[in-house]
Structure 1
Amino acid sequence: MKRITIAIDGFSSTGKSTVAKMLAKELDYIYVDTGAMYRAVTLFAMRHLYIKEGHFDKEALLRNLFKVSVKFKMNPSTGIADVYLNSENVEREIRTLEVSNFVSQIAAISEVRHLLVEKQKEMGKEKGIVMDGRDIGTVVFPEAELKVFMTATADERARRRYEELIAKGDNVTYEAVLENVVKRDALDTSREDSPLVKADDAILLDNTHTNIEDQFHILLQLSKDRIYGRC
């Protein structure tokens, strides 16, 4: 069976990672959450106080960027890969609203993007990969056989994210989550280096009113069409 590259881009909290994991598992493909890589670098910056509310020492982060190692390791209990920052499992920490508040600023730095994009391209050399993020179909894998761009209203995305964080026990408000979603949209679409845009040949999937199971089946059919050459 032919193996392909599947690039899933889109706005924050559209469920890209969830459906990409489901798709990779069904196809027996490698799954890579590139957003998690940027979150890991963000956590590194926060821990060293390079970035905090009202302060961002970009130069200090760049001087110490060589100290950052981001890897994925399979979690046998969940069947999916967790993110490791310098050999520490940070899967839980990088998903907090605090990290979300700063990740778009970190992701806008050209040096950070260059470092992680090179790692992402290396991961996809053998194909058989599902990768999600903001610039996978435009920068990382412009020749991907399947490109999908996911979107939903800001209100709906904030509701999903809020419910997810509450379920994890985080103390957040819907208003704070909505503010974060709107802020990240603005930063992601306006940055100079690899702004969030839909690739010309990407399929638009608005999932405002679509549940995760339906999204999965849509993506699975699109994938099979490419794998078996039906389009």
Structure 2
Amino acid sequence: MSFVVAIDGPAAAGKGTIGRRIAERFGFAHLDTGLLYRAVGKRAIDIGRGVIDDGVAEIVARELTPADLDQPGLRSILVARAASKVAALPAVRKALLDFQRDFARRPEGVVLDGRDIGTVICPDAAVKLFVTASAEERARRRQAELAAKGEAPSFERVLADVRDRDARDAARADAPMVQASDAILLDTTELDIETAVAKAAEIIEQALSRAGRS
């Protein structure tokens, strides 16, 4: 059975960076599951010329391949909004369930980050982390990320997008974003990335030791 690290939390809390660093540190495979929904959302709006059709989104999700996660433009605000919308569709989530669970079976150990990994995708994960930060701090991080790519949305717009995404993710009927009862909370509001990764690594090292894999 694979050693699974499930990292959940809201947008721009740092879970993706922590996931990548942890995977590199321990030699695990890493899947940013948010990219699945971004890839589906982008393809759906491209086909619909800006409009997302539920049926089209489901077909795109069923036909998704790993190569689709490498397409350009997946980190834009427009695609983030589309991802949040398609993520609320039960048919899309169901279509992507096997993709994620198949990845979680990789024998070398895996890290998956998203919003329902510890609650739905891998409820038996060896380690569950819920990574969060204040909405304001997450908006500052996202704005800096977009600025580095040449985009210049106002802080107010980015903050509104962050809060809207949080509300949609937490309120959706199918697999809402919630902290698993056995997940460890990691608040990164006041942490730099090195400290956050170190804290996560310590938790994982303890779990590996208990599992006899240290």
Q: Shift in Å at residue 217 of structure 1?
A: 0.4
Correspondence for 1:168 among 133, 146, 149: 149
CA separation in 2, counterparts of 1:111 and 1:226?
34
Larger proportion of helix = 2
What SS does the corresponding residue of 2:150 show, helix, strand or coil?
coil
Correspondence for 1:208 among 170, 189, 198: 189
Q: Which residue of 2 aligns with 1:111?
A: 91
**Paired residues of 2:127 and 2:207 also in contact (CA < 8 A):** yes
Q: Shift in Å at residue 66 of structure 1?
A: 6.5
CA separation in 2, counterparts of 1:135 and 1:218?
21
What SS does the corresponding residue of 1:144 show, helix, strand or coil?
coil
Letter in 1 for 2:34: G
Residues 149-180 of structure 1 show CA distances to partners (whole Å, capped at 9, x for unaligned) of 01111110000000011011123221211111
What SS does the corresponding residue of 1:169 show, helix, strand or coil?
coil
**Paired residues of 2:32 and 2:114 also in contact (CA < 8 A):** yes
Residues 107-129 of structure 1 show CA distances to partners (whole Å, capped at 9, x for unaligned) of 01111111111110011113500
TM-score by length of 1: 0.86
2:65 is aligned with 1:70: yes
Q: Equivalent residues in 2 for 1:18-29 (5 A)?
A: 18-29=17-28
Q: Shift in Å at residue 103 of structure 1?
A: 1.3
**Paired residues of 2:90 and 2:174 also in contact (CA < 8 A):** yes
Q: Which residue of 1 aligns with 2:198?
A: 217
**Paired residues of 2:188 and 2:196 also in contact (CA < 8 A):** yes
Q: Which residue of 2 aligns with 1:126?
A: 106
Assess, with a 3 A threshold, how the Cα gap between structure 1 residues 209 and 126 changes in structure 2: closer, same or farther. same
Assess, with a 3 A threshold, how the Cα gap between structure 1 residues 148 and 66 changes in structure 2: closer, same or farther. closer
Assess, with a 3 A threshold, how the Cα gap between structure 1 residues 9 and 57 changes in structure 2: closer, same or farther. same
2:181 is aligned with 1:186: no
Assess, with a 3 A threshold, how the Cα gap between structure 1 residues 145 and 57 changes in structure 2: closer, same or farther. same
2:136 is aligned with 1:155: yes
Assess, with a 3 A threshold, how the Cα gap between structure 1 residues 180 and 29 changes in structure 2: closer, same or farther. same
The gaps in structure 2 that reach 5 residues or longer are none
TM-score by length of 2: 0.92
Q: Shift in Å at residue 3 of structure 1?
A: 5.9
What SS does the corresponding residue of 1:197 show, helix, strand or coil?
coil
Assess, with a 3 A threshold, how the Cα gap between structure 1 residues 60 and 24 changes in structure 2: closer, same or farther. closer
Assess, with a 3 A threshold, how the Cα gap between structure 1 residues 37 and 211 changes in structure 2: closer, same or farther. same
**Paired residues of 1:41 and 1:68 also in contact (CA < 8 A):** no
Letter in 2 for 1:197: V
